[in-house]
Chain A
Amino acid sequence: MSFAFRTPRRAVMTAAGAAAAVVLLAGCSAGGTGSEENAGEPVSGGNLVYATGDAEPTCLDPHVGGNYPQALAASQYLEPLVSKNVDGEFIPWLASEWQESEDGLSWTFTLREGVQFTDGTPLNAEAVKANIEHVQDPETASSTGYLALQKIESAEVVDDLTLKLNLKAPDSALLESFSMPWVALQSPKALERSQEENCAAPVGTGPFMVEDWVKQDSITMVRNENYNSPPADAAHGGPAYLESITWKFIPESATRYAALQAGEVHVIDNAQPDTIAAAENNDVIKHLDAPRPGASNRLELNTSKAPFNDPLVREAFVRAVNVNDGVSSLFFGTAERSYSPLSSVEPLGYSDESLFGHDPAEANRLLDEAGWTERDAEGYRVKDGERLSLEFPVSTNQSIPAEQSLFEQLQATAKEAGFEIKLNLLDLSSWYGALAENDYNLVSAPYTKVGPDVLRILFHSDSTVPAPSGYFANLSQVKLDELDEILTKGSETSDPAERAALYEKAQQIVLEGYYILPLYDQQNHFLYRSEVSGLRALPTVSTPTFYDAWLNS
């Protein structure tokens, strides 16, 4: 069976090969992310212990809510319709083929044959339809998945393995959305259980199954012996090598690293810059760097009020702070400076370094020009009796210590130009509260999503309208008709060249307007012991996958 296909308009992707050749693809695609020094043959069996520093999910079904901790765990037991290879091209996973209609208003997905959920329910068009409806159902309380599937109006079962989706408007991000763990597929029979039951043990098609979840301690996942649905870039076929995974929650980073060193755990995530640097000198411990897609880590400058409603002050701020020195000294070479609104793993990311050079003299000139000519006794600039002061709420749940130190360094360098930065360390809920009250001039907020459509979420004026909770994603509060138009067009066009041009223009506008100060990629560092082989991160949202991994004793 071949899955070469074309849309009437253009080729959505190049054929990736025959479904049976899944295994053959392994050799060329595993390079780059996996462990290179895989000596010897894969060994079957063993229990791998993974220690996460991310929060413990409140629900193991990533349709409910939808955050990164859920994506990390769910990548082991749930599988999405499509994936991406290391070159950023879409490749088959649970869907073997897909086709967009001429007008972009409908998509047809053909599912892989002979796949079963671990409760025995077959994977068919009905099942996918039930999943889409589950994500869209307000009772599910989905957030990330809900936003991703917003343009889907209805799903039609054409035949057992063919599903047609009707859209409200063309959606160029649809495949990107369907590659994310937040819309991965679950057994429709299992979804009919109560939400409590489904949260405790979702049923997917993945190489592992959730067996037990001891809250605040660990999740036990066991091998799915009937597994037959690896993504097209997997390194082998059939069931996973590992017999089980113990997914431990170890919030404290020093403890996590000590446990890795002691051999109590095999893999840790959220490795801190200092421990990564320490691990470089350690033969037993290896490093896997897998930056998250979507937005880069950036400071957003709130343009809805003084002083950042003045473009001169925004540029002055960007010129005044010395980001590069901070990044290189505090991150021990584990983070690279970004000059783009998008993550470096986004193929359509656009950078412009020239806009962000550290130039204190220029910063001073710009501030003079903007009328902030006086200085007070403490050296801060003053205009009409008001100090040039910036509120900067920082969420301690989302910001690692190195980043908080970076913010302190920015604070120090901004002071020389006469900016006062008030850093407020807050817990997550208080941080949301500060944003809802528009009580900020600077803010750093992560956003992970596959594809450049994240720009629409972050910079379209629609996103300045707060949800009833008070939260909104457009934290720089950019409202430009031109940008809105480009972002809407970009989300609707499937023509690669046109899409690339639109998103480049959108990023130019964002960068040149000094609405953000890009810092570095969203960090995703894994450290693992040398006895682990075949570990890689999925090229979609950079979650680790243990399907191809094994333990050398």
Chain B
Amino acid sequence: MPGSTPEQPVPGRPTVTDGDRGPARILGDSVRLPTTVRWLLAKVLGAVFVLWAVATLIFFGIRLIPGDPAEAILGGPGSQASPEALEQVRRDYGLDQPLLAQYFTQLGRLLQGDLGESYSLRMPVAELLGNQLPGTLLLSALALLVAWLLALGLACWSTLNGKAAAVVASGLEIAAAAVPHFWLASILILLFSNTLGWLPPVSTNSADGLVLPVLALALPLAGFLGQVMRESMLNAMTSPFALSARARGEGETGVLFRHALRHAALPGIALSGWAFGSLLSGAVVVESIFARPGLGRTLLNAVTLRDIPLVTGVALVSALAYVLVMAASDVAERAADPRLRAA
């Protein structure tokens, strides 16, 4: 089951990225390749490994849970499948084969790029994902953007307004970071749809339909990002280069925007890959609550129905998206921090 609340974030660099650097070093000892190529190769190898691990874990994980996928394919509450029907389904879906045979069959298909057909929706998984992915990506990307803006805005404001503002900002961040998505989403609906009647409770891709789900996802993330960014910004404001800038006659605002902002952004960029992953898991809850089609809701249904191909498909696509965003955040981090380029 996907977690309904995101795991508690660990501040600092996510370990996956560190791990990804490993193969590059090993390779680098024997084969002399340009740094960027080595870096890229390591990324690709890492990604392949992650995808294989995800496919394998999902396949066996879902089989460990008691219950019969054939029954799930046929039924649901209140319906009793006939033995003939069950047998038919087992044959049709290859569920009568030994588990390992099923695993290798599935792996072989995946290698050919065939994600199979969903048990529950009776459609090619690739087509389903194609339909559901854009909505979730839009939601996650907007949430990430909004979280960034909120976090940076709060960090700038509190930095420029002294101790009291810092206390307020810190309180807000901790509260926001601690709020579970499902609770926040329900409160937002209660407030903005039921009471004020400003925004629709059911989400669409139109602007007004996106506001509440984006907020539900962005607020907890903003709280978390904000804590890290503000810390880093405060450090920068008291560092020697800020002092020398002030000595040159730069005002506080100038110091903040010209020097401290880049420092505050660095941990934010580093965390964005992780944050994106947490948004995908948050989407499971938010998409269900706002009745929004998307990957998260697909995953939830698929797990409930033991829809192995669909669960695998969603997990693979999420893992791939995660890997890509991690790589992108690495690139951005290198761009923002010259020290990393030398490494």
Which A residues have a C-beta under 8 Å from some C-beta of B?
A: 51, 55-56, 58-59, 65-69, 138-144, 146-147, 195-196, 199, 214-217, 248-252, 254-256, 258-259, 261-262, 264-265, 395, 397-398, 427-434, 436-437, 445-448, 457, 467-471, 473
Contact A470 to B68, CB < 8 A, known contacts A58-B121, A141-B85, A248-B202: yes
Bound form: Cα–Cα A360–B202 in Å = 48
B82 CB contact (under 8 Å) in A147, A195, A214: A147
What is the CB-to-nearest-CB distance from B130 to chain A, in angstroms, rounded to a whole number? 12
Given contacts A139-B88, A217-B293, 11 further A-B contacts (CB under 8 A): A250-B291, A259-B193, A261-B194, A262-B201, A428-B67, A429-B306, A432-B68, A432-B71, A433-B67, A445-B78, A467-B86
Q: A58-B122, A255-B201 are in contact. Are A467 and B67 (CB under 8 A)?
A: no
A-B contact pairs, 21 of them (CB 8 A): A58-B73, A138-B85, A141-B81, A143-B79, A144-B79, A144-B80, A214-B293, A215-B123, A248-B291, A250-B291, A258-B193, A262-B194, A262-B201, A397-B304, A428-B72, A436-B66, A445-B78, A447-B78, A467-B83, A468-B87, A471-B81
Chain A residues near B294: list those with CB within 8 A: 216
Given the interface pairs A251-B288, A471-B80, the reply to whether A433 lies near B65 with Cβ below 8 Å is: yes
Nearest to B182 among chain A residues (CB) is A252
- Pair B82/A143 contact, Cβ less than 8 Å: yes
Given known pairs A430-B67, A437-B66, the reply for A55 and B81 (CB within 8 Å) is no
Max chain B CB contacts within 10 Å: which of A66, A140, A470?
A66
For B297, the chain A residues whose CB sits under 8 A away are: 216, 251
A304 to chain B, nearest CB (A): 19
Q: Provide the bound-state CA to CA distance between A427 and B200, in Å.
A: 30
Chain B: which residue is nearest A294 at the CB level?
A: B78
A446/B123 in contact, CB under 8 A: no
B102 at the interface (CB under 8 A from A): no
Say yes or no: B79 contacts A138, CB within 8 Å.
no
Interface contact A258-B75, CB-CB below 8 Å: no
Residues of the A chain whose Cβ atoms lie less than 8 Å from the Cβ of B242: none
Q: CB distance B74 to A398 under 8 Å?
A: no
Contact check, A58 vs B120: say whether CB atoms are below 8 A apart. Answer: yes
**Is B39 positioned at the interface, with any CB of A under 8 Å from its CB?**
no
Bitwise, B276-316 to A at CB < 8 A (1) or not (0) is 00000000000011110110011001011110000000000
Please tell me if the beta carbons of B68 and A146 are within 8 angstroms of each other in the complex: no
Residues of A within 8 A of B72 (CB): 428-429, 432
Residue ID in chain A nearest B194 by CB atoms: A258
Q: A143-B81, A252-B289, A471-B81 are in contact. Are A429 and B202 (CB under 8 A)?
A: no
Which B residues have a C-beta under 8 Å from some C-beta of A?
1, 65-89, 119-123, 128, 131-132, 186, 189-190, 193-194, 197, 200-202, 288-291, 293-294, 297-298, 301, 303-306
Contact A67 B76 (CB under 8 A): yes
B75: A residues at CB distance < 8 A: 65, 67, 143
A255, B291: Cβ atoms closer than 8 Å: yes
Instruction: Tell whether, in the assembled complex, residue A146 and residue B85 are in contact, meaning their CB atoms are under 8 Å apart.
Output: yes
Number of A-B residue pairs with CB-CB distance less than 8 Å in the complex they form: 184
Bound form: Cα–Cα A237–B32 in Å: 83
What B residues does A256 contact at CB under 8 A? Answer: 291
Closest residue of B by beta carbon distance from A258? B201
Closest to B186 in A: A254
B290: chain A residues at CB < 8 Å are 252, 255
Residues of A near B190 (CB, < 8 A) are 254, 258
> Is there contact, CB below 8 Å, between A262 and B197?
yes
Q: What's the Cα separation between A144 and B291 when bound, in Å? A: 29
Q: Min CB distance, B134 to chain A, in Å?
A: 13
Please judge, given known A-B contacts A147-B80, A254-B186, whether A249 and B201 are in contact too, CB under 8 Å.
no
B197 and chain A: residue at smallest CB distance: A262
Using known A-B contacts A141-B85, A468-B83, determine if residue A262 contacts B200 with beta carbons closer than 8 Å. yes
B203 to chain A, nearest CB (A): 9
In whole angstroms, how far apart are the Cα atoms of A256 and B189 in the complex?
Answer: 11
Given known contacts A56-B301, A143-B79, A447-B78, A469 and B200 CB-to-CB distance under 8 angstroms: no
Residues A429 and B66 in contact, CB atoms below 8 Å apart: yes
* Complex contact B291–A468 (CB within 8 A): no
For B1, list chain A residues within 8 Å (CB): 427
Q: Is there an interface contact between B78 and A446, defined as CB atoms closer than 8 Å?
A: yes
A141 touches B74 (CB 8 A): yes
Cα(A253)–Cα(B67), bound, Å:
27
A217 to B84, CA, bound (A): 32
* Shortest distance from the beta carbon of A265 to any chain B beta carbon, whole Å: 8
A28 to chain B, nearest CB (A): 32
Residues of B within 8 A of A139 (CB): 88
Question: Which A residues lie within 8 Å of B200 (CB)?
Answer: 259, 262, 264
A264 proximity list for chain B (CB < 8 A) = 200-202
In this complex, what residue of B is CB-closest to A292?
B78
Q: Which residues of A contact B81 (CB under 8 A)?
A: 65, 141, 143, 467, 469, 471
- What separation, in Å, do the CA atoms of A140 and B92 have in the docked complex? 12
Are A59's CB and B201's CB within 8 A? no
Shortest CB-to-CB span from B211 to chain A, Å, is 14
Write the chain B residue with the least CB distance to A56: B301
- In the assembled complex, the Cα of A59 lies from the Cα of B290 at a distance in Å of 23
Q: A463 to B1, alpha carbons, bound, how many Å?
A: 32
Q: Which residues from B are CB-within-8-Å of A143? A: 74-75, 79-82, 85
**A7 CA / B87 CA spacing, docked (Å):** 40
Contact A259 B82 (CB under 8 A): no
Which A residues touch B293, using CB under 8 A?
A: 214-217
On whether the beta carbons of B65 and A467 are closer than 8 Å, the reply is no
Residues in B neighbouring A398, C-beta threshold 8 A: 77
A436 CB to nearest B CB, Å: 8
Residues of B within 8 A of A470 (CB): 68, 71
A93 CB, nearest partner CB in chain B, Å = 23
Contact of A446 with B77 in the complex, beta carbons under 8 Å: yes
B217 to chain A, nearest CB (A): 15
- B298 to A: closest C-beta gap in Å: 6
Cα of A51 to Cα of B75 in the assembled complex, Å: 22
- A454, chain B: closest CB distance, angstroms: 10
**Choice from A59, A258, A457, A469 contacting B122 with Cβ under 8 Å:** A59
Is B201 a contact of A259 with CB atoms below 8 Å? yes
- Check A66–B79 contact: CB distance below 8 A: yes
Q: Considering the chains assembled together, what is the distance between the CA atoms of A180 and B106 in angstroms?
A: 39
- Chain B residues, Cβ within 8 Å of A430: 65-67
B125 CB to closest chain A CB, in angstroms?
12
- Known contacts A138-B82, A258-B201, A427-B304; is-contact A469 B76 (Cβ 8 Å): no
